[in-house]
Structure 1
Amino acid sequence: MARRSHRQLLLATLCLAASMLGAQSTGADDARAAAGVYELRVGDFSVRVTSWGARLVSVVLPDSKGNLADVVLGKDTIAEYVNDTSYFGPITGRVGQRISRGRFVLDGEIYHLERNDGRNTLHGGGTAFSSSAWTVKEYVAGGDSPHITFFYRSFDGEQGFPGNLDAYVTYRVSSPYTLGVHMNATALDRATPVNLLLHAYWNLGGHGSGDVLGHTLRLFASRYAVLDDELLPSSGRVAPVAGTPLDFRTPTTIGARIRQVTGGKVVGYDANYVIDGEPEGMRPVAQVQDGASGRAVELWANQATVQLYTGNWLNNTKGKDGKVYNQYAGFTLETMGYVDAVNHPEFPSQTLLPGQEYKHDMVFKFSF
């Protein structure tokens, strides 16, 4: 056991030294300077992640003609991820998506968070989860199931949230062309809301290949949470998708009705869907296919909702490999609990009691 642990540590150290994505340390930010990039590979399927924000950096796989491409939008260097405001690929928390007015009440006490999205808090506010170097707890680069586990200790009062919290995320690659993302967190000493999510942008034609409006999408969701102009479920209503431009129960191109919807104040999808079935178990969430490349992905998860976002705010955004991302250059499928659940008792609770564990599993099954 000790020999294996030593080997894993050595592999992680070698990978850290060899793959820094050109991080530009100024000496003022030791955490950023220590952030590394790690590869998980099975055959011609490879995934790269970084400890900065426990972030998904790339997913490379063939198309129907055998041509390899990276299907995840992102940046070239750690320094660029540090300054990223588009949330390319990180784990966000403690609470992903929005919290109304940056406040909530728990056990009779009012908690105030940083308002980083107008009057509201987005993805936890501040830095922490998506803008810190996580610790590598285990790294297995080879074998049939390469994987890496990152750890982050969120301290009492960080981002304004109560209690100490231990968070982990494991990325695991397996054949054929399967990526598992497994998040869990434990409240150590106080009750606290937790709603982690992976904010990865996908373009199955390859990042920088254009927009995703021609991708065909199927969502296993017959209802959606009604969001207001600030993308908050202020009414607490859940409505049927039938008869609306949000209906993807049968395969439909993303661009077919995109001009009929606005995500906040811009044209495009930024919608929250209630996934059909019981949230305790793994079940299908979405199927997406790019006809031009032949690549497709199936997403399974164990969460209650999924946020579909179509990169509405991307605008001449510098990406990887000299590529520029414009509006609709990628889409996200962010599985999670209900948006702003901490302010809506009618929604299933996202609050952990001391000693309770949060579990969030996602599985991406790619084909071509």
Structure 2
Amino acid sequence: MARPRPLLALLCACVAALASAGAPNVAAGRKMVGVYELNKGGFSIKVTNWGATVTSVVLPDSKGNYADVVLGYDTIAGYVNDSTYFGALVGRVANRIANARFVLDGKVYHLFKNDGNNTLHGGHRGFSQVIWTVKEFVGGGDSPYITLYYHSFDGEQGFPGDLDVYVTYELASPYVLRVRMNATALDKATPVNLAQHTYWNLGGQGSGDILHDTVQLFASRYTPVDSGLIPTGVVAPVAGTPYDFLAPTPVGARIRQVSGGPGVYGYDMNYAVDGEPEALRKVAVVRDDASGRALELWANQPGVQFYTANLLPNITGKGGAVYHQYGALCLETQGFPDAVNHPNFPSQIVRPGQVYKHDMVFKFSF
């Protein structure tokens, strides 16, 4: 789907590459768009405050060869013009809201339509398409981290109430990336469902498709969707379906049996994660045998969207690499899609003074 191009001239003029490990804390209030590197030994990531976006994750493989394992662009301008949500933090409500409307406390709210008749990832100018404020940045040391802040105003994209949103990306003991998101509703009840939308290719960005990667999802149920990828409201068992990844399974083993939208094969499905609600628990394991790299994901959300880049339209990315269909996979921990219109789904409503908390832990090995 087409995306807007706000602030492009401004960004081209003011982008700053702030990439030195061990740089001092950045003063609160900085609104210039920059790229910030966190570095811990042989492990580094880069983040931009445009959309609180992860632009690179560099790791060794089993032979000691380094590669960037996330898809993206060489310049900030690429992210401004992006329609894929590469690496972005999406919200106020990630995923789809049917008919771009919901009812809360007896009032009907109408949202911006940017996915046919529906709202996707917060609307045409959601959290992935705004400048976040850098509150703290420590590029090196034992626990390099960056904390970003965004104030979402009452009525933004149609959502009610003022909302203060924070995300922290932190490198922890060896090859662990922690992501902590929280949001406080200030004056009105509002739905909140943030998601981190990085596209992973453990063989290295631009290295080919992920169909031979093995995936294990710790989810025995999923939320079936209609032809518009809107949940039907049913929470069904994965057993006996092509959506069953309870045992490690190659991504491509059954991919031709599932629809990723009209005329497209592939996974684009929310899974109900097993385990105690709100507890940090194992969500998924991905392995790339060719490189020896593996990713283990833990999170505290009820769902995870498994997406196999079915709609990746031959985009030119970093270093001139061309990203084709199935060139990466996404694991977006989240609340259930369209929960505002399904009372049987876990609620995403945050009331004034309450704090939404979303924690993710990526553990890499090779």
Normalising by structure 1, we get a TM-score of: 0.91
Question: What is the aligned partner in structure 1 of residue 352 from structure 2?
Answer: 354
Question: What is the aligned partner in structure 2 of residue 259 from structure 1?
Answer: 256
Are 1:63 and 1:294, in contact at CA under 8 Å, matched by a contact in 2?
yes
Question: What is the aligned partner in structure 2 of residue 69 from structure 1?
Answer: 67
Alignment of 1:97-176 (within 5 A): 97-176=95-174
Are 1:20 and 1:78, in contact at CA under 8 Å, matched by a contact in 2?
no
Are 1:72 and 1:202, in contact at CA under 8 Å, matched by a contact in 2?
yes
CA distance in 2, matches of 1:165, 1:33: 18
Are 2:31 and 2:132, in contact at CA under 8 Å, matched by a contact in 1?
no
Q: Work out which of the residue numbers 246, 250, 254 in structure 2 matches 1:249.
A: 246
CA distance in 2, matches of 1:82, 1:32: 19
Measured after TM superposition, the shift of residue 32 of structure 1 is: 12
Question: What is the aligned partner in structure 1 of residue 227 from structure 2?
Answer: 229
User: What do the CA deviations read for 1:50-99 (whole angstroms, capped 9, x no partner)?
Assistant: 00000011000000000000000001111110000011011010000000
Q: Work out which of the residue numbers 317, 320, 323 in structure 1 matches 2:321.
A: 323
Find runs of 4+ consecutive structure 1 residues off by over 3 angstroms: none
Are 2:220 and 2:273, in contact at CA under 8 Å, matched by a contact in 1?
yes
Normalising by structure 2, we get a TM-score of: 0.92
Measured after TM superposition, the shift of residue 107 of structure 1 is: 1.1
User: What do the CA deviations read for 1:231-253 (whole angstroms, capped 9, x no partner)?
Assistant: 111x3101110011100000000
Measured after TM superposition, the shift of residue 315 of structure 1 is: 2.1
The amino acid that maps onto 1:238 is V
CA distance in 2, matches of 1:176, 1:139: 20
Q: Are the structure 2 counterparts of residues 343 and 79 from structure 1 closer, same or farther at C-alpha, using a change threshold of 3 Å?
A: same
Matched, 1:239 2:250: no
CA distance in 2, matches of 1:128, 1:286: 27
CA distance in 2, matches of 1:114, 1:18: 31
Q: Unaligned stretches of 5+ in structure 1? A: 1-15, 22-30
Measured after TM superposition, the shift of residue 318 of structure 1 is: 1.2
Q: Are the structure 2 counterparts of residues 345 and 17 from structure 1 closer, same or farther at C-alpha, using a change threshold of 3 Å?
A: closer
Query: How large is the Cα RMSD of the aligned pairs?
Result: 1.5
Matched, 1:342 2:340: yes
The amino acid that maps onto 2:195 is L
Question: What is the aligned partner in structure 2 of residue 184 from structure 1?
Answer: 182
Measured after TM superposition, the shift of residue 17 of structure 1 is: 7.5
The amino acid that maps onto 2:342 is H
Alignment of 1:166-315 (within 5 A): 166-233=164-231, 235-265=232-262, 266-315=264-313
Q: Unaligned stretches of 5+ in structure 2? A: 1-13, 20-28
The amino acid that maps onto 1:100 is A
CA distance in 2, matches of 1:73, 1:189: 38
Identity of aligned residues (%): 66
Question: What is the aligned partner in structure 2 of residue 49 from structure 1?
Answer: 47
SS of the residue corresponding to residue 270 of structure 2 reads: strand
User: What do the CA deviations read for 1:290-315 (whole angstroms, capped 9, x no partner)?
Assistant: 00000001000000000000000112
Task: Give aligned pairs, total.
Answer: 343
Are 1:40 and 1:46, in contact at CA under 8 Å, matched by a contact in 2?
yes
Measured after TM superposition, the shift of residue 34 of structure 1 is: 2.1
Are 1:53 and 1:132, in contact at CA under 8 Å, matched by a contact in 2?
yes
SS of the residue corresponding to residue 99 of structure 2 reads: helix
Question: What is the aligned partner in structure 2 of residue 9 from structure 1?
Answer: none
CA distance in 2, matches of 1:32, 1:241: 47
Are 1:211 and 1:330, in contact at CA under 8 Å, matched by a contact in 2?
yes
